[in-house]
Chains A and B, each alone.
Chain A
Amino acid sequence: MPSSLWIQKARVIDPAAKRDAVGDVFIKDGVFVASLSAADKKRAKKIDGRGLVACPGLVDIHVHFREPGQTHKETIESGSRAGAAGGFTTVVCMPNTAPVADTAGTIQLIKDSIARTACIKVLPTGCITVGMKGEALAPIGSLKRAGVVAITDDGDCVQSNELMRRALEYARMFDLPVMDHCQDHSMTQGAVMNEGAMSTRLGLRGWPHAAEDLIVSRNVILSTYTGAHVHLQHISSRNSIEIIRRAKSRGIRVTAEATPHHIALTEGSLATYDTNFKMNPPLRTEEDRMAIIDGLRDGTLDILATDHAPHTDYEKDKEFDFAPNGILGLETALPVCLDILVRRSRFKLATVIDLMTRKPANLMKLNAGTLAAGAPADLCLFDPAEIWTYDAKAGFSKSSNSPWHGQKLTGRVKTTVVDGRVVFDRGRIVGR
């Protein structure tokens, strides 16, 4: 296999270098280089980039790969393949596995599997609290030493303000970001969708946006008090965005993410009780959806992240109340974001790519998200105009719980390169 890659005549977008022009990308020995020698050029594998966009490999800091313990839904192998097919070269896994990732031993188990089976870069997170129970701090120092890139209790938002304060203070010692899924559980008992006109009509228990707003506010206050960085996961509420906007204007160290589904869909999709639209936080109103897009536009929301959450058919195929939360994201994120943000909301293509590459990489202090010479050669090559029908059952994830199943999408990933190796090419996983 040639150690050099030469992507020719693509539209090259590298937000870090403010580059957006037709040109070539050169890769040698796993890193980007400014050019190749004549001899290298002769030997290099050449990829015709005409009509395609070449950008840094996409970075997703919020995925669920279900390993260990829930490998009927997804594995690190299948999840990383789904990521590669979606143009992602780096993903960050949530720790709500079985057992939860709250010890160095479990992190080591995850890292061993990553080394053996992942075709893209998969990075683990650890829990904030033991057992994700919100009662006592997990061994955060050991987790850091074992290799976690952040800590989070993910779906089990730490309810105790005191414990969260201590977690922030403690994590700050290791410069570990703390990611929080903002949900006041006392207000969301039994809740399965946004509280409002639609939940009233459908007779489903409502999850008021106030329950998100409260914890967002709590985190802003605790970040102010401790000086620690809090990353607010998948923001869904208009009010929360306003709270974050004010906090940022005061220089408080909070960052926040938005998901493709919250910018694309609303609670209106729930009229038929289709569980592929059930997720947490829930889809909200059109006003919320527009506020999230505006938040991405003005930087209040820093990045896009998918919350890729696989569940099997037989788990999702249930009464709405009983189906688990979550949908797939990795294989549809790019076309969905291109449609909603570029086509419908007039974002520059480079801005959307920035939200999916450089910005999430910087937020997590990862050496990724750029085509700069010397950087790891992680790259995504996609056709922004190709129209294709997404068949979730034919995808690379082990599960198929996607609201976009059977839909026509515009924009398709052609080739994914990790450390200079082609791992995905024209519909097939070709390397590791």
Chain B
Amino acid sequence: MPWTRRHLITLEELSVEEIDQIHATATAFKKILGRTVKKVPALRGKTIVNLFLEPSTRTRMAFDMAAKRLSADVISLDGSSSSTTKGETLRDTAQNIEALQADMIVIRHAAAGSPLYLSKILGIPVINAGDGAHEHPTQGLLDTFTMRERLGSLKGRKVVILGDILFSRVARSNIHALNKLGANVTIVGPSTLVPAWFTTLGVSVSHDLRSALEDAEVVMLLRIQHERQTAGMFPSLGEYTSLFGLNKTRASWLHPKAIIMHPGPINRGVEIDSELADGEHSVILEQVTNGIAVRMAVLYLCSGGQPEAVVTSD
């Protein structure tokens, strides 16, 4: 099937085939990253604007890198340098960017739904780089890409997402992608941060770390934000770590070949033991590298490129 999608707003709306196509295309692009000349002319002459209205380092750098590897011109704007601080509306900011003849907008915004809103206003492709607690589709794509590289098919695999699920767009995007790819997803953490509503998204909800981790082939940790503590979501980081922090003993409950993932930035000693973060099961830095390849694929496909053939379609 040819690729027709111009915007990437959510993983909830992608088909399995589209995820496969993005992953197949990312596999091809990843090879380029290993070359001496890490650049292809796929998007030469195109201008991509990274409109990051919420702070980000990793995602923004990865989008920047991905666009440059495809030979696009890149302009990055952040919240403090854009006119939003002068009271300009998002509509006006975005329409100005379009009028400046940008070919694509990558947007990170604290308000859920903003990328969808922009996609309805603008005539150029809009890529969601994270909207509030809603979705972070390229993160979900790079995470499942990494899992598939390590494990092959995800059908029937037990995947655990551990931490601050309530406010996590990474969790939501991964839940949608993993469900589509056939994994069995369990989310685990304190009951205030992992509310039962999530069962309606098709995952198991647990507050018992041992049963959740047992035989899991993937554990994905999410950063615990200190602000949640002052909001009364849990008593202290210390108590969180004692109940839900991943340490060596707890990691031993996992499947022997399990991989440990984290979208970053990590809090060493809070959600994960420092040793584990650097250990043999950790794929945290692979995720970062794969993030470039996956974003190259997304930028390329949404600019009108066609996907690589899908080899294994599960």
Contact = CB atoms under 8 A, between A and B. Distances in A.
Interface of A: 195-197, 199-205, 272-273, 314, 317-322
Contacts of A204: 112-113, 132-134
Contacts of A196: 197
A273 B133 CA distance: 14
Contact of B112 (A195, A203, A318): A203
A230 to B, nearest CB: 30
B197 A320 contact: no
Interface string B145-172: 0000000000000000000000001001
Contacts of A200: 195, 197-198, 200-201
A184 to B, nearest CB: 14
A345 to B, nearest CB: 27
Contact of B116 (A195, A205, A272): A272
Interface residues of B, number: 24
Contacts of B134: 202-204
Contact of A203 (B89, B90, B133, B195): B133
B113 A201 contact: no
Contacts of B110: 321
A252 to B, nearest CB: 33
Nearest to A205: B133
A273 B117 contact: yes
Contacts of A321: 110-112, 132
A321 B169 CA distance: 16
Contacts of B131: 203
B132 A197 contact: no
B91 to A, nearest CB: 6
B89 A320 contact: no
B111 A320 contact: yes
A14 B309 CA distance: 72
A203 B201 contact: no
B113 A322 contact: no
Contacts of B217: none
B195 A319 contact: no
A117 to B, nearest CB: 31
Nearest to A195: B197
B109 interface: yes
A314 B200 contact: no
A48 to B, nearest CB: 46
B233 to A, nearest CB: 12
A318 B172 CA distance: 23
Nearest to A200: B197
Contacts of B90: 318-319
Find the residue from A196, A272, A314, A319 having the highest chain B CB count within 10 A.
A319
30 contacts: A197-B197, A200-B200, A201-B12, A202-B134, A203-B112, A203-B132, A203-B133, A203-B135, A204-B112, A204-B113, A204-B132, A204-B133, A204-B134, A205-B133, A273-B116, A273-B117, A314-B89, A317-B89, A318-B89, A319-B90, A319-B109, A319-B113, A319-B114, A320-B111, A320-B112, A320-B117, A321-B110, A321-B112, A321-B132, A322-B111
